[in-house]
Amino acid sequence: MENQLKFINKKEIFSKKLELPVDPGIYQFFDPEENLLYVGKAKNLKNRLASYLNKGTNKKASNLRSRIKFVELIITKSESDALILEQSLIRKKKPPFNVQFRDDKSYPIIHISTDKEFPNIYISRRKQKEGTSFGPYANVGAMRKNIEIAQKIFKLRSCKDMVFKNRTRPCIEYQIGRCSAPCTGMISKNDYQEDVMQAADFFNGKNEIILKDLYKKMDAYSSKKDYERALIYRDKINAIRDTQKNQTIFTLYENVDVIGITSNSYDTCISLVQVREGWVTATKNFFPDTKNEYKKESLLVDFIESNYLNGDEKNINLLAFKTIPNEVVNNLQKLDINLNQLKLDKKNKFLLEIAESQSQDRLKRKDHFIWVQQAFENLCQKLSLQKIEKIEAFDISHISGNNVTASCVSFTNKGPDKKEYRSMNITNDKNDDYLALSEAINRRINSLEKRSLPLPEIILIDGGKGQLNSVRKVLKNKNLNKIKLISVSKGPDRNEKYDRLHIDDVKTSVDLS
């Protein structure tokens, strides 16, 4: 633990350059000080977030856009998962712009009339003076889903008081298992009040408290051999579990940290998914601050030591792809940090899948071109240039000698500049690489000069000395002799191993084999 590997947790800057996933999920906007501004959900994150990059007429939306600096994503398996998770995060974190948008629109609220002897549950868009309220809910679909789940588990009445007072036998809600029929005395006042309190805990996201209480009462009645009452509580426990199985953002666990690791040729991303009180509440992405290569197992151990030694939590339930060595667990325990590793099985495997999907997604958007600056500096020395800030490459294609097209790609010292990629239809429509390359590069230089953009220090073309000399004439006519020209000629049988680079100024070629 003495020489700890450092891990960088850096939020992504929200911009047009960000390559976003098309999956459903949650997005969270942060200001420059990393304060949470807004939580939203999307069926397609890429399409939804693109709307925030366009100017709108709504003043509050414009105010939000002006303050956004960072974005964090939580990918879900379905849109319904995203709906429920969004409401959970809004309820727990209370982002300021969610509150502003909520107040501006009169969103629905769930009410339980706890001031009455047998409270009922209902939806309203007006604030109620009596009883207990939950919400408002920005997504009506998520709100109705919550009520549907609550009625299935806790069986609160939804009828109006007039109907309730005049019932002589249970209604259809009782028959389909969505009401306990307090109107006809099918449940005692005390038992009904317990259901009301548990429903309130449910809407407040306190699943852990509910399950503990239900288990306690089930065991108590079982020990008294009152099996009929014990079955009632068992059925409620099973109902909550069934709900959790159908929603991946609900879990069977109270507080769990799940670690997923994904690597590619350039980097490694470690995603930490946090489950609190049965909800996936946050994901954090970390990158090891090192150029050395590490195995996943070693990174996992280093991350656990780094993250929890510097954290405040002392009791951690951990789920990961690999068993943590006992030595690490014992070392943490000496520092009063209790690490309990959960065994990976069919029930919790989906949590690890969520963590791994988070790390995969974040790694796709990681800047993998930090090596470019050093490569450009090395190339400067090889070609005796003072600096290289941009290289552009050209190639010609055609279909049986017709439909001649030129393509241009642009590469800066920060990586590919895809906005400057171009495809050009050549006006002289015949299979002549010399003419096609000359026209393409002439048009490209005119375009850059017209837009006052810098010209490349190097132009790379596909071809031999003939193509190179053709392009050199174009540059000479424009007094652009300082641009270095390099052409690539194919080796025998088009084997890239035997390709050669032709460099114009020094009349030399370089064998790539």
Indicate if the alpha-carbon torsion angle 74, 274, 90, 269 is positive or negative: negative
Residue 291: burial class (beta carbons within 10 Å; 0-12, 13-18, 19+) = exposed
Same domain? 498 vs 418: yes
Q: Rounded to whole angstroms, how far apart are CA atoms 436 and 427?
A: 8
Same domain, residue pair 191 and 286: no
> Is 4 within a domain?
no
508 — phi, psi (to 5°)? Answer: -125, 165
Tell me the sheet residues that pair with 273. 258, 283
Q: Which long-range contacts (CB under 8 A, 24 or more apart) does 305-311 make?
A: 305/1, 305/4, 305/331, 305/332, 306/4, 306/5, 306/6, 306/7, 307/7, 307/272, 308/332, 308/337, 308/339, 309/1, 309/4, 309/335, 309/337
- 302 and 433 co-located in one domain: no
Residue-by-residue DSSP string for 312-352 = S-SEEEEE-SSPPPHHHHHHHHHTT-EEEEPPP-TTTHHHH
The CATH number linked to 351 is 3.30.420
Do the domain assignments include residue 343? yes
Among 40, 49, 48, 136, smallest CA distance to 82 is for 40
pLDDT of amino acid 474: 85
Mean pLDDT for the stretch of residues 217-244 = 78
433 found inside a domain: yes
Token representation of residue 361 = 């997604």
Residue 32 three-state SS: coil
Q: What is the pLDDT of residues 393-452, one digit of tens each?
A: 999 998 887 889 999 999 998 888 888 999 999 887 677 888 888 999 999 999 999 999
Of 86, 103, 120, the last residue of a domain is 103
| Gyration radius (Cα) of the chain, Å | 32
Domain edge (last residue) among 246, 277, 310 = 246
Mean confidence (pLDDT) of the chain: 82
The residue from 72, 103, 134 where one domain ends is: 103
Residues in CB range of 308: below 8 A, 6 or more apart: 316, 332, 337, 339
Give the range of the structural domain holding residue 464, as residue numbers without chain letter: 372-511
Contact assessment for residue 356 and residue 260, using Cβ atoms and an 8 Å cutoff: yes
| 356-360-366-371 Cα dihedral, nearest 10 degrees | 100
Q: Diameter of the chain by CA atoms?
A: 103
pLDDT at 459: 92
First to last CA, the chain: 46
**324 in a domain, yes or no?**
yes
Provide the whole-model pTM: 0.55
What pLDDT is stored for residue 494 in this prediction?
64
Say if residue 336 is in the same domain as residue 435: no
Check if the beta carbon of residue 123 is closer than 8 Å to that of residue 110: yes
pLDDT confidence band for 3 (50 / 70 / 90): low
Weakest-pLDDT range from 118-122, 236-240, 255-259, 398-402? 236-240
β-partners of residue 271 are 260, 285
Which tens digit of pLDDT belongs to each residue from 256-309? 899 999 988 778 889 998 887 767 777 888 888 877 778 888 888 888 888 888
Number of domains in the chain: 4
Main-chain dihedrals φ then ψ at residue 394, nearest 5 degrees: -130, 145
Same domain, 352 and 289: yes
Contact by Cβ (8 Å): 198, 211: no
Do 446 and 459 sit in the same domain of this protein? yes
Q: What is the pLDDT of residue 205?
A: 67
Is the sign of the CA dihedral 53, 15, 105, 101 positive or negative?
negative
Whether residue 388 is found in the same domain as residue 492: yes
Q: Any idea what DSSP says for residue 157?
A: B
The answer as to whether 2 is a domain residue is no
- 109-to-133, 134, 142, 401 alpha-carbon distances in Å: 7, 6, 12, 68
Q: Are 57 and 105 in contact (CB under 8 A)?
A: no
pLDDT band at 99 (very low <50, low <70, confident <90, very high): low
What's 361's DSSP letter? H
| C-alpha to C-alpha distance for 320 and 398, rounded to whole angstroms | 52
Q: Are residues 111 and 223 in the same domain?
A: yes
Least confident of 96-100, 183-187, 451-455: 96-100
Cβ neighbors of 215 (< 8 A, separation 6 or more) are 233, 237
Higher-pLDDT residue of 506, 178? 178
Shared-domain flag, residues 503 and 394: yes
- For 136-153, the pLDDT digits (tens) are 665 666 677 778 878 888
What are the pLDDT digits (tens) for 312-365?
788 888 999 888 888 888 888 888 888 888 888 877 788 888 888 888 888 877
CATH of the domain at 51: 3.40.1440.10
- 65 shares its domain with 98: yes
Question: How would you class 461 by CB atoms within 10 Å of its CB: exposed for 0-12, middle for 13-18, buried for 19 or more?
Answer: buried
* Within-domain flag for 189: yes
Q: Are residues 381 and 289 in the same domain?
A: no
Asked whether residue 271 falls in the same domain as residue 176, the answer is no
CATH number, domain containing residue 406:
3.30.420.340
Tell me whether residue 380 is exposed, middle or buried, using C-beta atoms within 10 angstroms of its C-beta: 0 to 12, 13 to 18, 19 or more: middle
**pLDDT tens figures, 449-478:** 999 999 999 999 988 778 888 888 888 888
